[in-house]
């Protein structure tokens, strides 16, 4: 910083103000300091105190799949919270590849980030161990691996399934289908299924409940389920279908429409993970908000607490409440 001030021909205080309080200095001083910075290749560190530890001031976020807009929301929330605290956020996308997730974790370890947020889709104890080995604080997002030695932020996915069935009952559905696949891979699918069953048990006979096993959670899987349902006689079709993901629900709407079955008039359809990248849907899809931004923000707060309070930090499991969003695929305007 002294080098910059000397080169710019200003005081150390002025140089510092250019970076931290530009409103206090003249435009000419800003320009001189900027030029000096460029000439020297000086790199500002948002959090000088962390430099002492040999770490950068940046936080890292590794998400399993950035094509799922929920993780873009997580990044947005995390970034706003990080910047508010004077830290920058760097991201890495694992593109559904667990090996890539490991490489991303290693890259951030190597970059000496001050802390890491990890949003996986499966148990990642192995990657967490690599971070712990370098004393890098880590917070898990959207996956609970039952580890009490770190902080975890999730949405209550059991409540997601519960809210979905409750909504279908509330709008008068009497033959409800829950369409889902991938239980063996996806923690949210297992939990949403459990919540849906609980809501049906509580409703005790108010409606019939059928679970259709799809091959996965993608649009193509929803298309397949829709065609199976369209192949039934009208009397044996459901009047409400819950797709465990918005992608699957989009496929359901598409498949039913192709077969001439109108949504929501003949069959109401909803998804479970409000997702702006679920593909195009012919009708606005009722779904459940997964609180991505809130998860990202909460995770940053926990990470900063662990970074800054060190020995005093108490690991927490934060469970956020999902929220029903009613739209045209279940309720006529």
DSSP per position, 220-243: HHHHHHHHHHHTS-GGGS-SEEEE
Residues 39-44: contacts with CB within 8 Å, 24+ apart?
39/7, 40/3, 40/4, 40/7, 42/1, 42/3, 42/4, 44/19
Among 21, 28, 52, 110, binds a copy of itself (CB under 8 A): 110
Which of 7, 34, 198, 313: binder of a copy of itself (CB under 8 A)?
34
Cβ neighbours of residue 332 closer than 8 Å, sequence gap 6 or more? 264, 265
User: Is 109 or 145 the residue whose CB approaches a copy of itself more closely?
Assistant: 109
279 binding a copy of itself? (CB under 8 A)? yes
Q: Binding to a copy of itself by residue 88, rule CB under 8 A?
A: yes
Give how far Cα 293 sits from Cα of 60, 79, 155, 159, 247, Å. 16, 9, 11, 18, 20
Tokens 């209550």 belong to residue: 156
Binding to a copy of itself by residue 283, rule CB under 8 A? yes
Question: Is residue 58 part of the contact set for a copy of itself (CB under 8 A)?
Answer: yes
**83 forms part of the interface with a copy of itself (CB under 8 A):** yes
Among 107, 145, 308, 316, binds a copy of itself (CB under 8 A): 107
Q: Is 249 in the site for a copy of itself (CB under 8 A)?
A: no
Tell me the backbone φ, ψ of residue 46, rounded to 5 degrees.
Answer: -65, -25
- Of 199 and 263, which CB lies nearer to a copy of itself in the complex structure? 263
Q: Distance (Å, rounded) from C-alpha 330 to C-alpha 66?
A: 28
Which residue lies nearer to a copy of itself by CB, 1 or 95? 95
R_g (Cα) of the chain, nearest Å: 25
Residues of this chain that interact with a copy of itself (CB under 8 A) are 34, 37-41, 43-46, 56-58, 60, 66-67, 69, 72, 75-76, 79-80, 83, 88-93, 95, 100, 103-104, 106-112, 126, 129-130, 133-135, 276-277, 279-285, 327
């Amino acid at each position: 910083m002294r080098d910059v001030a000397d080169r710019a021909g200003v005081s150390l205080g002025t140089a510092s103000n250019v970076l931290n309080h530009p409103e206090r200095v003249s435009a000419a001083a800003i320009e001189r300091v900027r030029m000096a910075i460029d000439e020297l290749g000086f790199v500002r560190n948002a959090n000088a105190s962390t430099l002492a530890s040999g770490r950068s001031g940046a936080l890292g976020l590794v998400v399993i799949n950035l094509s799922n807009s929920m993780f873009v929301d997580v990044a947005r929330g995390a970034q706003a919270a990080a910047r508010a605290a004077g830290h920058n956020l760097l991201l890495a996308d694992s593109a559904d590849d667990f090996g890539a997730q490991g490489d991303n974790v290693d890259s951030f370890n190597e970059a000496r980030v001050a802390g890491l947020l990890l949003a996986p889709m499966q148990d990642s104890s192995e990657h967490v161990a690599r971070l712990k080995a370098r004393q890098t604080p880590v917070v898990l997002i959207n996956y609970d691996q039952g580890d009490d030695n770190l902080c975890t932020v999730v949405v209550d996915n059991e409540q997601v399934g519960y809210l979905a069935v409750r909504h279908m009952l509330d709008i008068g559905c009497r033959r409800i289908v829950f369409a889902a696949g991938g239980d063996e891979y996806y923690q949210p699918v297992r939990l949403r299924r459990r919540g849906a069953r609980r809501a049906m048990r509580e409703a005790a006979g108010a409606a019939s409940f059928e679970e259709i096993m799809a091959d996965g959670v993608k649009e193509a899987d929803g298309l397949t389920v829709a065609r199976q349902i369209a192949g039934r006689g009208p009397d044996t079709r459901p009047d409400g279908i819950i797709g465990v993901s918005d992608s699957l629900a989009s496929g359901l709407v598409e498949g039913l429409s192709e077969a001439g079955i109108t949504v929501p008039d003949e069959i109401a359809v909803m998804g479970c993970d409000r997702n702006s990248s679920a593909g195009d849907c012919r009708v606005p899809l009722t779904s459940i908000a997964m609180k991505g931004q809130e998860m990202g923000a909460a995770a940053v707060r926990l990470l900063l607490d662990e970074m800054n309070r060190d020995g005093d930090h108490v690991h927490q499991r934060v469970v956020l409440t999902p929220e029903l969003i009613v739209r045209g695929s279940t309720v006529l305007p």
